[in-house]
Structure 1
């Protein structure tokens, strides 16, 4: 299996073991991660997505009229969620290292679960603004925290599939949310409560309970996980050392100090990181907009009954789960990021183009299924593409934080492009998303070409070094990270 760094001569000779036995042992270890850790984390994130998207379903149950807000104020409440997200992103990353992921992730989940439950008692615009801000505030650190956590268990060429499987929980949550809302909103009037009050409580209370379970279930690391055998714990550490021979542990912004500040500064000045940030932004505007407004878009197609609009918003997300996991698996298998990300974007782009030009209800619904199916492919693959191409650790940590911030900033745009005045077709919103997707495709192809050029330059430098018989300076390579001629960019 190819690694980011080209082979550097080892000073030690290790005993030869049966290759097939080693492969089987590693396969069993990864299967244990896939069956006992990843599904649990995905289930936790499912609740995050449910609590985040519940507002979009509540609006179909006279929510705006019940608390006395206008459609414009509703959009502002959707937007303020992302403001809270952005503010707490980096502080959460720093706290993560000090408290460990096994403690910080359940803590965040417990806090946002309490805030989600409080939505059931909201009375006015100010109250809703406050709750949405703190919901975003506490959810901010969960996704990047899980990404950091997964790097302690999986190798680079395994990450895109795992991120997609994990990200699939949020897509499945959107589908499940529509079906769940269909049933819960029918409780309107029961025990003197509205349907949307029941919705917030029924989706919020399990979040709090799940957080308490997670506090005791999550491991600190693979090396200390009691569910692994002693041999598996050793293998879990060794295989990550082989995958990234010059990485010494996983750093977050909580480890920033005088020694590694130079690495952090390099992330801030690296053109590759900024290009990925713009790519994340362009690819995430359609994602955030559709996540918040799909029930309203579906209602505009002619599914006028509030319950039907919720129910019919589920199938597009089910299509998205299948497409996303298949493309992410293919991306890992073929060790390609750029073309797979572009493929998902083009799939989505075609859907939005059809939404702009088709007119019949059935055709529009088919088009929205196509659009949604391609939206969720982008983030998992681009996440894996970025993290496998940035080194050393502190530079990677800062670059990841920058990319996630760009991703969340897209919500400030995505939450405002579907306006009530554009109903029922929402042509303006679809056109804006179309433009961002075209930009994403162009940027992804440009990034691939630039990285390919860098690889050619590094190969030429290595040949020149070999011709002059210059020895490798391992210490220099560790400092240079991805700028080293021995670091090969993954395309």
Structure 2
């Protein structure tokens, strides 16, 4: 396996004359990197060929290019974003299936006792951990659309296999394998979004497909409500939920394999001109379009990067509260609702989740990202809601007042897409970014393994678990401030060392990004707040 450590690209300075907006000729010096065979991005040559015309572009030509760029972004929205939304939504309801199944005889049918249900919930994330090493390798080298599609087909088949489980051990095995094959999805999907959208566009799109978690949970809660009324069939009540989700996953995965492009250059719905524009758009993200070489030096760089460690700690504190997803229906039922009312009463939580994500996507689109703001501010209503539920554990309080406060907790769902967007644009180098994704998902899985065990088994009082989640929300809020402060400090430090990022620096940074340079190696790279 080539590491590309010794094959450093050679710098070549070229000078070209161009005309400024004032009509006066000025000289612009650009730095071009002579490509090496092992690390050069597939879009490198295309971008280099556009450099001269880019530098000599008149205001009229620039306006025409901007119009084409917007048209390309709209095409990506029409052709790709919808499929991303379906993928995220189906992936989420796949993990949420347990919370519905437990209301319809799941525990009794599998003879679950004690902490068995907690272990079944957590076992998925043990598989998730085991899948991270192959996941990092695949997202650094393999065609992303194929990785996403094939993984989806496999986990759909495993969901169908869940219907046949009759024992605790069989379900543990299925849940472990589900985690293994779902491990590549998040890093692949975040990288896939970064291939087609600029840094400014990226956060809004990530939030839009992230909103599908709440939207699909809302829709499939109603589906589960209907399926739960099916009786007197060969299938157990809860197995109908797995059947529907499994079939949907297989069909969706096949669609990704057959129809989704791996890179902008392979998008059949783009004209040749639009493909060139798409490369120029994303080249200036400074992290290229697709890697082909696994570079160990980029992994080593992570261990010297403070932002890497801060981000991982944030992810852990962000994901332990996810344990509430498997116990969501049990917490609501503890307020005094029966099994069917629990499903209906829980629906507004999904409305809060999806609504918050959509609202923040509009804000991110309008104001240009808001990544670090989005890591903190959505936690405020979640903290207020959880504090209210926790404070009213004992006493004669209205169950409706408690459940309304509980609905607010789901606003914290906004933070995870912002975390993904933060990783997607603030770590460059294909291997480094894949490793950061993989590392973050190790902490994501660890948090999700821990999460279910803060809930007592067989209890009708979850106050201790809710108090722990409240504390984690508060720590997460503080860590978001640390991430922002560090990035502001480092951007100012790099400005002093290398000068501010102007048009020339952006061009040089784009070329280095297409040579698979990391954010630390690329002098023009600055963190996006």
The counterpart of 2:387, out of the listed 350, 353, 374, is 353
Measure, in 1, the Cα distance between the counterparts of 2:242 and 2:433: 37
TM-score (normalised: structure 1): 0.88
Report deviation, 1:96: 4.3
Q: CA RMSD in A?
A: 2.4
User: Aligned runs of 1:247-266 on 2, under 5 Å?
Assistant: 247-251=287-291, 255-256=293-294, 260-266=295-301
Name the counterpart of 1:117: 160
1:151 aligns to what SS in structure 2? helix
Measure, in 2, the Cα distance between the counterparts of 1:61 and 1:459: 59
CA contact (8 A) 1:45 1:169 kept: yes
Name the counterpart of 2:267: 225
Measure, in 2, the Cα distance between the counterparts of 1:475 and 1:307: 57
Report deviation, 1:421: 4.4
- Structure index of larger Rg: 2
Measure, in 1, the Cα distance between the counterparts of 2:517 and 2:185: 30
> Larger helix proportion, structure 1 or 2?
1
User: Aligned runs of 1:261-276 on 2, under 5 Å?
Assistant: 261-276=296-311
Q: 1:338 to 1:248 in 2, by over 3 A?
A: closer
Measure, in 1, the Cα distance between the counterparts of 2:254 and 2:206: 24
1:10 aligns to what SS in structure 2? strand
Deviations 1:87-122 (A, max 9, x none): 112302323455412322111111111110111111
Q: Is 1:297 aligned to 2:331, yes or no?
A: yes
The counterpart of 2:464, out of the listed 420, 428, 432, is 428
Name the counterpart of 2:364: 331
CA contact (8 A) 1:53 1:177 kept: no
Report deviation, 1:153: 0.6
Report deviation, 1:146: 1.2
1:366 aligns to what SS in structure 2? helix
Measure, in 2, the Cα distance between the counterparts of 1:211 and 1:393: 24
CA contact (8 A) 1:182 1:308 kept: no
Q: 1:9 to 1:169 in 2, by over 3 A?
A: farther
User: Aligned runs of 1:34-45 on 2, under 5 Å?
Assistant: 34-45=77-88
CA contact (8 A) 2:155 2:182 kept: yes
1:60 aligns to what SS in structure 2? coil
Name the counterpart of 1:363: 401
Measure, in 2, the Cα distance between the counterparts of 1:279 and 1:193: 42
CA contact (8 A) 1:354 1:364 kept: yes
CA contact (8 A) 1:115 1:135 kept: yes
The counterpart of 2:483, out of the listed 444, 447, 450, is 447
TM-score (normalised: structure 2): 0.82
Q: Is 1:30 aligned to 2:54, yes or no?
A: no
Measure, in 2, the Cα distance between the counterparts of 1:266 and 1:96: 18
Report deviation, 1:397: 2.5
Q: 1:169 to 1:479 in 2, by over 3 A?
A: closer
Measure, in 2, the Cα distance between the counterparts of 1:459 and 1:281: 31
Report deviation, 1:184: 0.2
Name the counterpart of 2:226: 183
Gaps of 5+ in 2: 1-27, 32-51, 501-507
The counterpart of 2:343, out of the listed 277, 287, 310, is 310
Report deviation, 1:296: 1.1
Q: Is 1:86 aligned to 2:124, yes or no?
A: no
CA contact (8 A) 1:188 1:196 kept: no
1:69 aligns to what SS in structure 2? coil
Measure, in 2, the Cα distance between the counterparts of 1:182 and 1:104: 33
Deviations 1:314-343 (A, max 9, x none): 221112111112224323533432223210
Deviations 1:354-393 (A, max 9, x none): 1101332111111111111x22110111222233222334
Report deviation, 1:177: 2.6
Q: Is 1:419 aligned to 2:453, yes or no?
A: no
Report deviation, 1:71: 4.4
Name the counterpart of 1:279: 314
Q: How many residues align?
A: 465
The counterpart of 1:381, out of the listed 392, 396, 418, is 418
